[in-house]
Amino acid sequence: MNAQDAWNVAYSQLELQLDRGSFDTWLRGALLLHTEPGIESTLFVIGVRNTYARDMLQHRLYRNVWRILHDVWGDPVEVRFEVHQPAPRNPEREVEMPLFRLLAEQQANAAIDDKQSDLGGSLSDRVRRPERQALPESDLNPKFTFARFIVSNANRLAYESARAVAENPGRYYNPFFVYGGVGQGKTHLLHAIAQACQSKGLRTIYLPSEAFTNDLVDAIRQKTTAMFREKYRSADVLLVDDVQFISGKESTQEEFFHTFNALYTFNKQIVLASDRPPRELATLEDRLRSRFEGGLVVDIPPLEFETRLAILEMWAQERGVRLQRSVLELVAERARSNVRELEGVFNQVIAKSQFAHQPMTLDNAEAVLQQYDAPRHHGSRRAPTTLNCVIEITARYYQMNPAELTGKNRAQRVNNVRQVAMYLAREYTESSLAQIGECLGGRSHTTVLHGCNKVVEMMGCDPVLRQQIEDLRQKLTN
């Protein structure tokens, strides 16, 4: 594979793996300027659009880019980011490049508005201007629709509620707050709601919370806060993604609180997504927290094996690639923590087979997956926990003897706790299903799979169990 191909593959994988806001803000349009071969590694010099992006990529996102490029290239790499502006159409605007393309355009329009008003435009013209400005279509991923969302026991509640919100915005669940770990489909659901509402002709604003903050900062700097308010308060549906990032930012919270109230008062729909529930947003002001909790709060727990498999089948079909079921099962089995990881592994397998011009056999897939350093435990790099440790901690937590779990006792209560141990063993150990089953009373791998799915299913409807699993996770990571 040549360097340009490697960058192209890495770029598309980054687009899938980074959250959309980060990708659009820092990486979109980044191109390979050249490579410099070195003794130990090849240096990839990547052109990015401004100094903010360069610094952010160099300091905060370096590892993400490096790891993917390293995997694709197959040999050691280093990456350097340089500012590169290919013949800007309007150099003045590009010099002080705002953080988000959308905002750049809005600012430019605001500047034009200001000029027009100097020439006699009325204040109301200026204030109403954003209403005429539809958000660019490209801001919503056309693939993130309800039709492409695979529904399972784990995410059914989130899905059904999202559909209800899209059908009757502002009516039943307001605000609608969805939370869950990275890559569980929160952004997908928000885009699906936004697109359904847009197609009804409703004025819909979707944005990550950082974009809200940036927009506010710009509005304050440019003295266009009245326009800022009008823009957000005239929405029929406001969807704010990753709201955990407004935690701690006082002026943003203040502004958001007023926006929220203004919309809520007029029964306009508010949809929020976060990586944790409102009560765990530590530095969120209480009044905002209680507003967030006042509607419907649902979570998306990690998806079961069958659902991950169904998602893979959908992707393979959409891309017209034929993969043996055993290969898909292997990928679904290996990438457990979230769908984004699943996507990364899937792309890796496809990219390797396309570049090698070979169909992907189970052995080849295994080889690819071995190279893939799957980020387990939400990306932390601690040494894996042992099976015995999981069994010990789980048994003690439920005040049982570990021998009860490793023995043959089939009493309901023992069985339930054993299933919890199976679930946690899959998350925290490197053991295979067969090894887990063997250790937990000589069960088969399908029994383990069934046990894990049972736990996921129960977590979807049993908050007590969810809390217990959360407690156990804490114990296992400490």
Query: 155: closest CA among 129, 189, 130?
Result: 189
Distance CA 276, CA 230 (A): 29
Pick from 26, 44, 149, 232 the residue near ligand ADP by CB under 6 A.
149
Of 24-32, 147-155, 162-170, 320-328: span binding ligand ADP (CB under 6 A): 147-155
46 binds, among ligand ADP, Mg ion, none (CB under 5 to 8 A by kind): none
Encoded one letter per residue, x for contact with Mg ion by CB under 5 A and - for no contact, window 6-25 reads -------------x------
* Tokens 């559909």 sit on residue: 163
Task: Determine if 274 is a binding residue for ligand ADP (CB under 6 A).
Answer: no
Q: By C-beta, is 57 or 193 nearer to ligand ADP?
A: 193
Distance CA 256, CA 269 (A): 14
Task: Determine if 312 is a binding residue for ligand ADP (CB under 6 A).
Answer: no
Residues forming beta bridges with residue 207, ordered by sequence position: 240
Task: Determine if 22 is a binding residue for ligand ADP (CB under 6 A).
Answer: no
Are 223 and 126 in contact by the 8 Å Cβ rule? The answer is no
Amino acid at 458: M
Of 97-105, 175-183, 290-298, 395-403: span binding ligand ADP (CB under 6 A): 175-183
Positive or negative, the CA dihedral 140, 141, 145, 149 is: negative
Q: By C-beta, is 340 or 454 nearer to ligand ADP?
A: 340
149 binds, among Mg ion, ligand ADP, none (CB under 5 to 8 A by kind): ligand ADP
Pick from 187, 253, 394, 453 the residue near Mg ion by CB under 5 A.
187
Pick from 144, 176, 232, 305 the residue near ligand ADP by CB under 6 A.
144
Encoded one letter per residue, x for contact with ligand ADP by CB under 6 A and - for no contact, window 187-206 reads xx------------------
Long-range contacts of 466-472 (CB under 8 A, 24+ apart): 466/299, 466/301, 468/397, 468/420, 469/420, 469/423, 469/424, 471/397, 472/393, 472/394, 472/397, 472/420, 472/424
Are 99 and 25 in contact by the 8 Å Cβ rule? The answer is yes
Task: Determine if 209 is a binding residue for Mg ion (CB under 5 A).
Answer: no
Task: Determine if 345 is a binding residue for ligand ADP (CB under 6 A).
Answer: no
Residues forming beta bridges with residue 82, ordered by sequence position: 47
Of 103-111, 181-189, 289-297, 304-312: span binding Mg ion (CB under 5 A): 181-189
Distance CA 88, CA 267 (A): 43
Site residues for ligand ADP per CB under 6 A? 144, 148-150, 155, 180, 182-188, 311, 339-340, 343
Site residues for Mg ion per CB under 5 A? 19, 186-187
